[in-house]
Amino acid sequence: MSRTKTSKAWLQEHVNDHYVHQAQKDGYRSRAAYKLLEINEKDKLLKPGYWVADLGAAPGSWSQVAKRLVGQQGRVFALDILEMDPLPGVEFVQGDFREEETLTRFTELLQGRLVDLAICDIAPNISGMAVIDQARSFHLCELALDFCRDYLKPGGHFLVKTFQGSGYTEFIQQMRSEFASVLTRKPAASRDRSNEIYLLGKGKK
């Protein structure tokens, strides 16, 4: 299929997408909000007063959901290499969380405290070459897991988007070494043709 036909097919799907319309109606920045809402409905991850780190946060729909559910007593810290328009009550650090300077700015916001929950809906820039994209995706997942080792409190939870394929089984093993249990979640808002699957690490060891 040509790029033009593929783009047209994506646009047609996007225009007719129930979750896209619902996001516009509910004021969320993207349809991804409903993935987090559905997982949270099942697993009760976001609680009033929680401190949450949203890694790869732009455009910000997961931060919107998180802030609404943790309430005034909770705090949401969003990180992304991309710009993100400000969100009320969300503290945003723009930068690459692989870099020391970005992490220093983040730790200053935390004031010595660890977060209760880390969420990560990050995806690499797509090259179109499946092997490269898969490797980049899991590299980002591993960086997010490294982040949890340093900034997630014992007993805390971690939700991350992965893609089934090369590296998936190995990454689950890495998560199992860090968390008491690792669950898979495929929310209804994930497009059927997508091989994305969310891994939920519960109870950091």
Active site members: 161
Whether 113 and 52 have beta carbons less than 8 Å apart is answered as: no
Could you tell me which of 60, 73, 4, 67 has the C-alpha nearest to residue 33? 60
- The reply, when asked if residue 62 is annotated as ligand binding, is yes
- The reply, when asked if residue 17 is annotated as ligand binding, is no
Residues 26, 80: Cα–Cα separation, whole Å: 23
Whether 198 and 118 have beta carbons less than 8 Å apart is answered as: no
Strand 196-204 to 152-163 pairing: antiparallel
- The reply, when asked if residue 60 is annotated as ligand binding, is yes
Whether 109 and 103 have beta carbons less than 8 Å apart is answered as: no
Residues 96, 126: Cα–Cα separation, whole Å: 17
- The reply, when asked if residue 201 is annotated as ligand binding, is no
Whether 66 and 76 have beta carbons less than 8 Å apart is answered as: yes
Span between the terminal Cα atoms of the chain, in Å: 47
Whether 126 and 133 have beta carbons less than 8 Å apart is answered as: yes
Radius of gyration of the chain (CA): 17
Residues 91, 52: Cα–Cα separation, whole Å: 10
Q: Would you list which residues are annotated within the binding site for S-adenosyl-L-methionine?
A: 60, 62, 80, 96, 121
Please report, in range form, the residues annotated as the binding site: 60, 62, 80, 96, 121
